[in-house]
Amino acid sequence: MLTKASASLTARVPDPQSMSGYLPFAGRNAIVEMSIGIQFGQQFDQQIAAETIKAEFVAEFPKFEPIQMFTVNIGAQQFPIGVSNPTPTINGFNLTKVKTDGTPARVLRAMGNVLSVHFLEYTSWKGTKPQAISYVTRCLKKMAIIERNPATSVLLRYVDRFTFDGAPEEATAGKLFRPDNKFLASKLLDRGYQWHCNSGWFEPLVGSAPALHQLNIASGMMQNAVGVAVDHNSIYTLPKPFNSVAELTQGAGERASLEAILDRQHTANADLLKNLLNQEMLNTIGLRG
């Protein structure tokens, strides 16, 4: 017969099966990357953009990499022509601040008609948002293009990753997500660790003006462990384009400021995670469901 003390001790022995579960990628949060972008009506002159922005940020983003685009013709040719190698053209560039291990910590990118800032070492929205706005503002002032190439959309993207601590065969979506969430197909909750689910929808962001939300969730082997990546992209098309840096940063009329738009997109991302993740994970990363 168990004594009172031994019964208490026995009750505290954990079940090995219940010990397996998901862990957030970055410890206190699960964020692999957060990026903020501004889309413009037309493509940039990449040569001018590269020269002006590279000089402005040489101390903060010392590594410069051009992004090349190749044009390849596929299909039958109407007239015989000589064989030639595709000629690369510069379609954009990256300015990178690297970590001590050589991997990117922050990236400032101009590509096509989008100017974006990527944070791969995320601390907090309070600290990261003003830095991103400052980078964008400095770029636009140096490039001096917004008066003739207005801003048309604001983009905010979060990529979260959760790593499974346990044997792969024990990993299921039901150990990470709420059973009643509205974003993940319910049949995936008990279908092992290899699956994906993609969706897109519009919902109001500023007043009645909607934003497009794209959500891609995938589970599989990531760096020798089972991982789940939650990729949420919010694209808000301005009701009317911004034609000056002052309008973009301060807002005008029915158009909210860049900061106000980003705050609403950030809140939408947090609300999505609160509906998607189970309460245990929300507590771990500091969100309240």
3-class SS string, 48-99: HHHHHHHHHCCCCCCEEEEEEEECCCCCCCCCCCCCCCCCEEEEEEEEEEEC
Residue 5 has pLDDT above 60, yes or no: no
Average pLDDT score over residue span 259-288: 96
pLDDT, the chain, mean: 88
245 within some domain = yes
Domain count, the chain: 1
Dihedral of CA 13/17/18/21: which sign?
positive
pLDDT above 80: residue 69? no
Distance between CA 52 and CA 64 in Å, rounded? 12
Q: Is residue 177 part of a domain?
A: yes
SS3 (DSSP) at 215: strand
pLDDT band at 77, cuts 50/70/90? low
What pLDDT is attached to residue 51? Answer: 86
Q: Which of 204, 188, 194 shows the shortest CA–CA distance to 276?
A: 188
Residue 150 pLDDT more than 70? yes
Q: Considering only 82-96, 258-272, 274-288, which range has the smallest mean pLDDT?
A: 82-96
Domain around 186: 20-33+152-289
CA distance 166 to 19: 8
Domain for residue 62, yes or no? no
pTM for the complete prediction? Answer: 0.86
Alpha carbon of 270 to those of 83, 131, 215, 267: distances in Å? 53, 20, 13, 5
Structure tokens at 67: 């992004």
Residue 64 falls inside a structural domain: no
Does a structural domain hold residue 8?
Answer: no
For 108-133, write each residue's pLDDT tens digit: 999 999 999 999 999 999 999 999 99
Q: Is residue 134 part of a domain?
A: no
221 in a domain, yes or no?
A: yes
Lowest-pLDDT range of 68-72, 163-167, 190-194: 68-72
Between CA 158 and CA 269 the distance in angstroms is 8
Burial of 12-32, coded b for 16+ CB within 10 Å and e otherwise, reads eeeeeeeeebbbbbeeebbbb
Residue 128 domain-assigned (yes or no):
no
Tell how far CA 193 is from the center of its chain.
Answer: 22
Q: Which amino acid is at 218?
A: A
